[in-house]
Structure 1
Amino acid sequence: MTGLSLLKRHLAGSLLAASLALGAFVLPARALTFDEVGKVVQLLTELEPELGRLAYDEEEADQWFDDDAGLEGRIAKAGFSRETWKQALDATFRGYLATIATERFEATFSGLTERVDASDLNDEQKAEMRSFVETKIAETRALRAEGEKYVDAVQPYAARLNELLGDQEE
């Protein structure tokens, strides 16, 4: 693997861990209820010991649905189909991002472009990586903005979601 590929993977991992939002869904907008958020949080809590910490993206939502179906099928028992699970998890996640204090949210991006600039990459590779990082930051900010419409439903669960989805280094 080239140095650029390794750096991209490392920075993508850092962005995912820092911002929790690199996996963007293109799902239809719909209302999210307090009860749905409660079910999502309960399922994340119950399934984490068996399935591990959720690394949020569309494939992971599908994987959790499949893995749970092979266990006790708790997601389906809670009333979710594969599609409604993905929608509720997506909306909960976006709403969670919107509950994070702006200063804390923006701090997750601190130093990312500087790390690219300080790397051993050549100028062309650095420009490519800066563009990649800036695109991912913009995507994450957009997810957060889209989550504003879910804040009321998610806010009561924000602390628990932070434990389940938040940065481990806090």
Structure 2
Amino acid sequence: MSANLKRHIAGGLLAASLALGALVLPARALTLEEAGKVVQLLGELEPELGRLAYDEEEADQWFDDDAGLEGRIAKAGFDRESWKQALGATFRGYLATIAAEHFEATFSGLTEKVDASDLNADQKAEMRSFVETKIAETRALRAEGARYVDAVQPYAARLNELLGDDE
């Protein structure tokens, strides 16, 4: 297997797992106002902090980095935990707003790339298992997001700009 193909497969899996997250938060209502604040903050902070690759550590890092700048997250009324909860709920709600065909297309070809790779049989089995686990986790996040759709739907287009794929 060429080094480029390995990097391409690993990069695709990393991007999918980071972009689609794997954080489990306690169920709590997300208000339209909270979702709006999260979306506004994502837009304001992206130029300084870069594109959000959502997971719990990234949520913490954004909170810390912003605290060292202007503290906009705290000024918007969030402490670290409420920020992580609102960001997580907004992210899940965003996943739930994505059309099913587009959402599933995100995973199209990932396992086929593993099968077509030059990895040995054990490596392929391990990589396939990893891919299938990440796909299942992401589908679960989307299912969890159904409870947040009403709060997130008005911001779906902007979230797609901020969190969606670049293609």
Same fold (TM over 0.5): yes
Tell me, in whole angstroms, the C-alpha distance in 2 between the residues paired with 1:14 and 1:70: 27
- 5+ unaligned residues in a row in structure 2: which ranges? none
2:94 paired residue among 93, 96, 100: 96
2:58 paired residue among 44, 57, 60: 60
CA shift digits 1:70-111 (9 cap, x unpaired): 000000000000000000000000000000000000001000
8 A contact 2:9–2:114 mirrored in 1: no
Compute the TM-score of the two structures, normalised by the length of structure 2.
0.93
CA shift digits 1:7-51 (9 cap, x unpaired): 77334224237xx31x32222110000000000000001101110
Letter matched to residue 10 of structure 2: R
Aligned residue for 1:129? Answer: 127
8 A contact 1:94–1:144 mirrored in 2: yes
The within-5 A match list for 1:120-159 is 120-159=118-157
The within-5 A match list for 1:4-83 is 9-16=10-17, 20-21=19-20, 23-83=21-81
8 A contact 1:92–1:150 mirrored in 2: yes
8 A contact 2:17–2:134 mirrored in 1: no
SS in 2 for 1:145: helix
SS in 1 for 2:155: helix
- 5+ unaligned residues in a row in structure 1: which ranges? none
Query: Percent identity, aligned pairs only?
Result: 80
8 A contact 2:39–2:155 mirrored in 1: yes
Tell me, in whole angstroms, the C-alpha distance in 2 between the residues paired with 1:81 and 1:126: 43
8 A contact 2:89–2:148 mirrored in 1: yes
Change (3 A) 1:53 1:133: same
